[in-house]
Amino acid sequence: MKPFDETVRDRIANKYNAWQNPKAGTPSERSAESRFGKDFFFVESTPTFKIARDSRVYTIGSCFARNVEQFLVREGVDVPTTQIKIDPEVYVSRPRFANTILNKYNPNSMAAEILRGIGDLEYPDRGIIALSPENYFDPQASHTGLMSRSQVDRVRDELDRASKVIHDCKVFLFTLGLTETWFDRDTGIAFNQINPGLMRPIRDRLGFKNVNVYETVETLSHAFSRLKECVPDAKVVITVSPVPLLNTFTSHDVVMANTYSKATLRCAAQMLAELHDYVDYFPSYEMVANSNRAFSWEKDQAHVSDAVVAKVIEAFLARYLDTGE
């Protein structure tokens, strides 16, 4: 519990502490009320570290992670996840990014990538699932379908090589996506994505869980702690993706399900940043969620517009990228 005097000092020092303008007719650029009047809703945050241009940055997450990668590369930062070589034929549909296969959505699959990369986690038969003698599936790949055994092994080889560079990276960016998670009850493997129709042959092995705040914190905290032990000077930035659930496996309206998912991840992100002094939270979710919807979303109301993505990443780079000045 924080003492009274320290709490008051923090409130005074926080220039963004007011939701409404201090007086009617005298708008303050820092009040939430004034910021709602703009297309892009700027949210302040204070980084605890800088990303040096000679740092290697490892990104884990969905589309926001892929977008940040592109901007960092343009700034000359080494981002090894952009260098993965995957046969585009493995995708079920044309992806937006060549390395979309790396996308991770739920906390368990993100933690598994870290733990596999540092050598803490090995799954039986590499975690690959046989659906028939001809059809195999890697539950921790993204946007892939059924493959032959030789093909799925080649893909897993490339994914394993990609995660091995974790030891050589200094900054890790996590973008949390959703809480709805399927598990293989025989092996404990968390599916990154699932197509229920394809999984019917093994339906008796599958279980579903909508993970809560405490489970999310426990899962990621363990992965972060082990990462820090293996990479002592590691720094972590954690964000929450504003992209909503496109559908839900729960019995709730998808809007309710999405609210639960994002609220859970946002709370967990805050708790993780407070638990670990090497973890920062960056408010990309708040920036998009509070921006003018007509400006911030594409026509499908599911994907963030390029204009807002650029604004969010511009804010991220301004706070974290070391310009040498």
Note the pLDDT tens digit of each residue in 213-249.
999 999 999 999 999 999 999 999 999 999 999 999 9
pLDDT for the residue numbered 303 = 83
- Main-chain phi, psi angles of 114, to 5 degrees: -65, -50
> Which amino acid makes up residue 193?
Q
Cα-Cα-Cα-Cα torsion 292, 297, 302, 304, nearest 10 degrees, comes to -110
How many C-beta neighbours within 10 Å does residue 235 have? 23
pLDDT digits (tens, 9 = 90+) for 154-175: 999 999 999 999 999 999 999 9
CATH code for residues 47-320: 3.40.50.1110
72 and 57 Cβ atoms separated by less than 8 Å: yes
> Would you kindly state where each structural domain of the chain is located, as residue ranges?
47-320
When mean pLDDT is compared across 178-182, 232-236, 272-276, 318-322, the lowest value belongs to 318-322
CA–CA dist 73, 80 (Å, integer)? 10
pLDDT digits (tens, 9 = 90+) for 29-68: 899 999 998 999 999 999 999 998 888 999 999 877 888 8
| pLDDT at 27 exceeding the cut of 80 | no
Q: Give residue 323's pLDDT band: very low, low, confident or very high (50, 70, 90).
A: confident
Please give the mean pLDDT across all residues of the chain: 93
Please name which of 317, 313, 315 lies closest in space to residue 67, comparing C-alpha atoms.
Answer: 313
For tokens 């200094």, the residue is 170
pLDDT digits (tens, 9 = 90+) for 68-124: 888 889 888 899 999 988 888 899 988 888 899 999 999 999 999 999 999 999 999
